[in-house]
Amino acid sequence: MSQPEELRTDPRKRIFKELDDVRAGMLGIEGSEQLSQPMTHHAFPEEGVLRFITSRQTDLAEAIGSGRTARYVVISKNHDFWMTLRGEMTVSNDREKIDEIWSRVSAAWFDEGREDPEVTMLELRLTDGSAWAATGNPLVFGWEILRANMDEEHKPEIGEQAEIRF
């Protein structure tokens, strides 16, 4: 099944497949003056949750406080899938969940590794989102653009867009 077809028939499955293939996106808080920043996510499809390791000292962790609405934007490696996800972001110190996603990459950011007192986790409980999938076939893309340029009534059909509620 093609990426656009799967987005049309099972958007949740397609979104989590893409999240599994891409390690980072841009995370920001809705209504905040702060600009979005790159973060590495850990996806938990069965829970509809994304988790991020960070320091308590980051502007992002401090701005979240007891909870805020956040947006996470991701583009696929092949630049043929785009998504923006929204949900409620909270700071969590759940040691078991932090241990589950901890890695050598995470450790590189903390002087004392996993035992650093500044280690914390952001948890984005997804509520909704939007995704776009384009055909990965350059021939289909070219044909659709050619047709659109030759027939003013034809609009290129090169993908799908889906709204999703989690």
Q: Which long-range contacts (CB under 8 A, 24 or more apart) does 153-161 make?
A: 158/134, 159/4, 159/80, 159/132, 159/133, 159/134, 159/135, 160/4, 160/5, 160/7, 160/8, 160/132, 160/133, 161/7, 161/130, 161/131, 161/132, 161/133
Tell me how far apart the alpha carbons of residues 143 and 130 are, in angstroms, rounded to a whole number: 26
Per-residue pLDDT of the chain (166 residues; tens, 9 = 90+): 678 788 989 999 999 999 999 999 999 999 988 999 999 999 999 999 999 999 999 999 999 988 899 999 999 998 899 999 999 999 999 999 999 999 999 999 999 999 999 999 999 999 999 999 987 666 766 776 778 788 888 776 767 899 999 9
Using DSSP's 3-state secondary structure scheme, residue 106 falls into helix
For the domain covering 3-165, report its CATH number: 2.30.110.10
Q: What is the pTM of this model?
A: 0.87
The one-character DSSP state at 112 is T
pLDDT of residue 56: 95
Q: What are the sequence ranges of the domains in the chain?
A: 3-165
Q: What is the pLDDT of residue 89?
A: 98
Phi, psi of 122 (to 5 degrees): -100, 140
Supply the DSSP symbol for 34: S
111 CB-near residues (< 8 Å, 6+ apart): none
- What gap in Å lies between CA 28 and CA 50, rounded to an integer? 13
